[in-house]
Structure 1
Amino acid sequence: MNSKQLIAVAAMALSGAAMAQSSVTVYGRLDASIGSAKVGNITNGAGPANVTQMFSNNITTSRLGFRGTEDLGGGLSALFIIETGFSPDAPGQTVLGDRAAVVGLSGGFGTIKLGRHDTSFDDIRDLMVSSNLWDSGNLASTETVLSTGATTTNGVGGLRDYGDRANNQVRYESPSFSGLTFGVSYGFDEEASPVKKDVVAYNLRYKAGNLDVGVAYQENSQAGFNATTPANSYLITDDLKYTTVAAAYNFGLFRVSGGWNQAKEVNVATPVKANTYTVGVNVPVEAWDFSVGYSTAKAKRAGAAFEKGSAFSVGATYSLSKRTRAYAALTNGDIKDAAGTKIRQRDIYALGLIHTF
Structure 2
Amino acid sequence: MNKKLIALAVAGAVAAPAVMAENSVTLYGQARVGLEQIKANSTDTAASISKTRVADWTSRLGFKGQEELGGGMKAVWQVEQAVKLDDGTSGTFASRNSFIGLAGGFGAVKLGRHDTPYKLTGDLTSGMVGSADINGAKGLMHRADRRADNAVWYESPSMGGFTASVMYATAENKEPANATDKAIDTSLWSANAVFKGNMFEGGIGYVHHEDAGLDFVGIKESTVNGTTVKQRVGADVKADAFIGFAAVKFGPAKITTALEHTEEKRPAAGANSSFKRKRDSWMLGATYDIGAVQLRAAYVEARKLKSASFETTDDTGAKQFMIGAGYAFSKRTEAMAFFTKIDNQKNAAFDFDTNSLGVKAGQDPQAFGVGLRHKF
Using the alignment, how far apart are the partners of 1:212 and 1:223 within structure 2? 30
Q: Partner amino acid for 2:127?
A: L
Report the counterpart of residue 44 of structure 1 in structure 2: 44
Partner amino acid for 2:118?
Answer: F
Uncovered stretches (5+) of structure 2, i.e. residues with no partner = 176-182, 221-233, 268-273, 349-360
Q: Give % identity.
A: 29
1:204 and 2:193 equivalent? yes
Contact 2:142 2:260 in 1 (8 A): no
Superposed counterparts of 1:53-202, under 5 Å? 53-57=53-57, 61-124=58-121, 126-129=122-125, 132-134=126-128, 136=129, 138-141=131-134, 146-147=136-137, 154-155=138-139, 161-191=143-173, 195-202=184-191
- CA–CA distance in 2 between the matches of 1:285 and 1:307? 39
TM-score (norm 2): 0.77
Which position in structure 2 is the counterpart of 1:231? Answer: none
Paired position in structure 2 for 1:354:
373
Note the C-alpha offset of 1:272.
Answer: 2.6
1:236 deviates by 3.4
| Deviation of 1:276 (Å) | 0.7
Contact in 2 for aligned 1:141/1:331 (Cα 8 Å) = no
CA distance in 1, matches of 2:21, 2:195: 34
Alpha-carbon distance between aligned partners in 2 of 1:188 and 1:348, rounded to the nearest angstrom:
38
Map residues 3-42 of structure 1 onto 2, 5 A cutoff: 17-39=18-40, 42=42
SS in 1 for 2:29: strand
Q: Distance in 2 between matches of 1:108 and 1:160?
A: 31
Shift of the 314–242 alpha-carbon distance from structure 1 to 2, 3 Å rule, reads same
Give the aligned partner of residue 254 of structure 1: 253
Q: Following the alignment from structure 1 to structure 2, what is the Cα–Cα distance between the partners of residues 338 and 196?
A: 29
Q: Structure 1, residues 50-75: CA drift from partner, whole Å, max 9, x if none?
A: 11111110xxx200111112211111
Match of 1:315 in 2: 324
RMSD of equivalent CA atoms: 3.2
Q: 1:141: Cα distance to partner?
A: 4.3
C-alpha contact 2:174 2:186 (8 A) present in aligned 1: no
Which consecutive unaligned segments of at least 5 residues does structure 1 have?
148-153, 229-234
Residue 239 of structure 1 deviates from its aligned partner by 2.1
- SS of 1:120's partner is coil
1:280 and 2:285 aligned:
yes
Change beyond 3 A, Cα 1:236–1:21? closer
CA distance in 2, matches of 1:257, 1:182: 20
